[in-house]
Amino acid sequence: MADPSIKLACRNVWKLFGENPASVLQCHGGKPSLSDIQDAGLIGAVRDANLDVRQGEIFVIMGLSGSGKSTLVRCLSRLIEPTGGEILFDGQDLLQASEQEMIEFRRHKMGMVFQHFALLPHLTVLQNVAFPLDVQGVSRTEREIRAREVIELVGLAGREGYFPRELSGGQQQRVGIARSLAVEPEVWFLDEPFSALDPLIRREMQDEFLRLQSMLQKTIVFITHDFDEAIRLADRIAIMKDGEIIQIASPEELVLNPATDYVAEFTQHIPRAKVLTARAVMRSLPSGEIPARASLAGEIAATDRIESVADKVEAAELPFAVVDTEGTAIGLLDSRIVVDVLIGRGR
């Protein structure tokens, strides 16, 4: 039986572009190699993707352009029909769903935010946000009440009567976000939602996004080509290259144990203090050993990021105890370790 905490999963998903992709997939026993695909004159946009998205987590798919990340997220929502594999939504295979069932799925369980906003130019903000409810046949008063709620939520109250072209990029994307949330989706797809925005606005929108997520606790698949953004937002990250998922891990694990040189290339320039937790860099205590209180400057939670405790640890002469959720000391953190992390010195 499938793990109930897994909301959305894909198993051996392939997407090949070109002539007759299904037979090529069959022909090589469902697992053609890169050269098999090229020999057949096809393009392997997604190759053998496997991933699990857990209930309530922000799952980021990161890759450079052409890596297949956009194709993969479109396979997950069946905007693009995968060549092979399974897409499991609460354990049910979406690829087996009929057209009608898919419409129902999309109407009630999925929401999507697009890179270039995809707002309808002839509708006002209110009408745009209410649109998904409109196509469901929700009555006008009801859908406008709901639309006003989400518009309020994304901080656009007072702009209901504006047309998209009267809004800035950031505001337009807020409308896009509000629209995707109007139907209270269970899974929320965001396809490079902030890539078209200026860096400052992008940061502001990321904060806004985290704020919304802390309130809503949606299951999120977030696509980006920006590794910093991925690190900042993700609970877990899948890194894609040439249609393949190279590694799926938490930001911290990625930094500590990059699976390949390609991943290491990304992580190299990341400020490690922002990613690593006290647990990851502490000097472990042999189990059962309890450090003397007098030899400590204080306590730090194991999940704290180095960035947030660096000042305090660096200033103290004595090490801090790192404690787990039960309050048991599991390691020590001293200024030397913190400085190592800050200046990126290897251990």
Applying CB under 8 A, the residues found at the interface with other proteins are 74, 77, 79, 103-108, 110-112, 114-118, 120-124, 126, 131-132, 134-136, 159-163, 166, 180, 189
State which residue, 16 or 147, has the beta carbon closest to other proteins.
147
Query: Which of left, alpha, beta for 119 (phi over 0: left; psi -120 to 50: alpha)?
Result: beta
CB of 336 to other proteins, least distance (A): 51
State which residue, 103 or 339, has the beta carbon closest to other proteins.
103
As given in the structure block, the two tokens for residue 13 are: 């998903």
State which residue, 122 or 347, has the beta carbon closest to other proteins.
122
CB of 80 to other proteins, least distance (A): 9
CB of 53 to other proteins, least distance (A): 17
State which residue, 25 or 190, has the beta carbon closest to other proteins.
190
CB of 76 to other proteins, least distance (A): 11
State which residue, 171 or 335, has the beta carbon closest to other proteins.
171
CA gap 224, 227 in Å, rounded: 8
State which residue, 197 or 254, has the beta carbon closest to other proteins.
197
Strand-strand pairing, 92-93 and 84-89: antiparallel
State which residue, 117 or 266, has the beta carbon closest to other proteins.
117
CA gap 84, 70 in Å, rounded: 17
State which residue, 35 or 100, has the beta carbon closest to other proteins.
100
CB of 109 to other proteins, least distance (A): 10
CB of 106 to other proteins, least distance (A): 4
CA gap 49, 117 in Å, rounded: 27
Place of tokens 């707002």: 119
Cβ neighbours of residue 305 closer than 8 Å, sequence gap 6 or more: 273, 274, 275, 276, 277, 278
Place of tokens 């929502």: 77
CB 49 within 8 A of CB 57: no
CB of 161 to other proteins, least distance (A): 4
Q: How many CB atoms lie within 10 A of CB 340?
A: 15
CA gap 294, 85 in Å, rounded: 59
CA angle 346, 235, 245 (to 5 degrees): 80
CB 159 within 8 A of CB 168: no
Give, in order, the Cα–Cα distances in Å from 343 to each of 5, 252, 255: 38, 17, 15
Q: Is the dihedral of CA 26, 28, 29, 32 positive or negative?
A: negative
CB of 95 to other proteins, least distance (A): 16
CB 135 within 8 A of CB 188: no
Q: Which residues is 46 bridged to in the sheet?
A: 15
CB of 170 to other proteins, least distance (A): 17
Nearest residue to 279 (alpha-carbon basis) of 256, 258, 263: 256
State which residue, 188 or 209, has the beta carbon closest to other proteins.
188
